Structure 1
């Protein structure tokens, strides 16, 4: 089956799935999926994590977070530094441009104004 054989809805799903690393395990006659059977991880998360390692300010926050119990910063389950539950994106203009470009031009983006885009990125 080629992409030309797909309808518009299927093509949009295909474009969305291309942005994730997927691991799908199929078990015949099994109806439910557990967390270990279907895993999707945004590709940007790896890039952000790697960029965090090169940012001195975020590395200092990571050390501070690891040494104190009360902090607005946390280490997420994916080992990314987070501030109040949100991933800290380093001051890396190339990465920021990539994220903004995908948010604005990605296959699922619908431009309804800057407030919607801000809330989606938040």
Structure 2
């Protein structure tokens, strides 16, 4: 039995779920009125209202135009403790089974593209790792997953053709080269050079070899980009000068454009890891003599801040 001194106080705060917040936001959103009118006039066949008056798109809950609520849904699907920063395609496939709003796929792609962690850490060559796994031998299947799915081995530089299979290289290679040249001409018309303006914030790519020596970044899972840093000057057409912090004073501050990536988020105030400071006396110390049996000592006495 607890005494008065041993009593403990507990408090339980119940917050509404995301579904309850969406239902409450639907009732306040004035933009849902025309959808409800279309349902009554049988012009919105994909939309429906349940018995509680909640608006659904097929089997998905309609999210109103509430940017704070949408961001909360995206944070839960991308940065929560139950997710591992999925890419935009996987994140869209997961969310479209439960929620719907206009331009949903575009907003998800923009959210993932602006994620600070994904820009600095995620690798660009995950497709090659996936290709290697799908074409490697699996003991349980006694063949590669690609061969089990398609019934043949995938053509690679090591395994270009099956033994005994006649392959005509000439016409196929010519056709492939012509298609690549045609696709390159289409791509060059739409390609724009990477240009930064003075005052923009960019990420700096850290190479595996120079990262340890110059930037102190090491380890297999270390961030691939550091920053963001502010662009102070454009040096020529393909180089930029960055405003580096004091601990990178030994690093040359001009970098090639291929080492930079634009930071789309708004930089926040950075808190320095070392918050210590040197204490100073608030008043002039006065010497104080202390006489010992053998020697005479002098002390400085003063109050510190």
Q: TM-score, normalised by structure 1?
A: 0.56
Q: Which has the larger radius of gyration?
A: 2
> 1:115 and 1:77, CA in 2 relative to 1: closer, same or farther beyond 3 A?
farther
Partner of 1:37: none
Distance 2:83 2:50 in 1: 26
Unaligned regions of 5+ residues in structure 2, if any? 1-14, 97-305
Using the TM superposition, give the Cα deviation of residue 57 of structure 1 relative to its aligned residue in structure 2, in angstroms: 1.9
Unaligned regions of 5+ residues in structure 1, if any? 1-20, 22-41
Asked if 1:95 corresponds to 2:69, the answer is: yes
Distance 1:78 1:106 in 2: 30
Query: What is the number of residues matched between the two proteins?
Result: 83
Partner of 1:113: 87
RMSD, matched Cα: 2.7
The 8 Å contact of residues 52 and 59 in structure 1, kept in 2 or not, is answered as no
**1:53-92 alignment runs, 5 A limit:** 53-68=27-42, 71-76=45-50, 79-92=53-66
The structure, 1 or 2, with the larger RCO (C-alpha pairs under 8 Å, 6+ apart) is: 1
Distance 2:73 2:42 in 1: 31
Secondary structure at the aligned position of 1:111 is classed as coil
Q: TM-score, normalised by structure 2?
A: 0.24
Secondary structure at the aligned position of 1:87 is classed as strand
Distance 1:116 1:78 in 2: 32
> 1:77 and 1:105, CA in 2 relative to 1: closer, same or farther beyond 3 A?
farther
By percentage of residues, which structure has more helix?
1
> 1:95 and 1:112, CA in 2 relative to 1: closer, same or farther beyond 3 A?
closer
